[in-house]
Amino acid sequence: MTMAYQILIHTPVWVFVLFAYLVWQGIQAMRPRTTPIWRALILPVVFIVWGASRIGFGHQDGAGPLIAWIAAALALLPLGVLTPRPFDVDHRTGEIIRPGSVFALIRNLVVFSLQYAVGVISAIDAGDRAFAIMFGRAVSGATAGYFIGSTVALLIAYRRKRALG
């Protein structure tokens, strides 16, 4: 219990703010909604930046961590591209019309939990534990890869649907 308390009190405030934002966004996504394209890109950009931020931080024994990051990013990029994201476009305003779904809430919580776990492992000084370092880079790469693929697919679909109107 003491370790969990220590982890929580040493967690930066921005992490709690980000968690609240991700939960709020996930709950909002459960209802049908209309949003401008730029708002639909905020969350993917946050996760891409968070995933990419780990490339240069922490222990760097050789190219292994970078290779783990790249391999995981490349592995999940196609999943991001292929994940269905049903939406229509309001051709008058250009806004995206999305049906409600619990998928975003679940995805946000899973990705946040994995990234938070990686942050905790890094803070506990996993510098001499090669597996923890590789796992952290792989999670970060997978996050970035998935959301890069998802963003590219969203922008392509949006452009196509706008052209049809």
pLDDT of residue 60: 60
pLDDT of residue 135: 84
Residue bearing the bigger pLDDT, 41 or 131: 41
Over the stretch 12-66, which tens digit does the pLDDT of each residue have? 999 999 999 999 999 999 999 999 999 999 989 988 998 888 776 655 667 888 8
Which residues have C-beta within 8 Å of that of residue 142, sequence separation ≥ 6? 51, 72, 73, 75, 76
Over the stretch 77-90, which tens digit does the pLDDT of each residue have? 999 999 888 899 99
pLDDT of residue 66: 86
Over the stretch 97-121, which tens digit does the pLDDT of each residue have? 999 999 999 999 999 998 898 888 7
pLDDT of residue 128: 59
pLDDT of residue 127: 57
User: What is the pLDDT confidence band of residue 95, given thresholds at 50, 70 and 90?
Assistant: very high
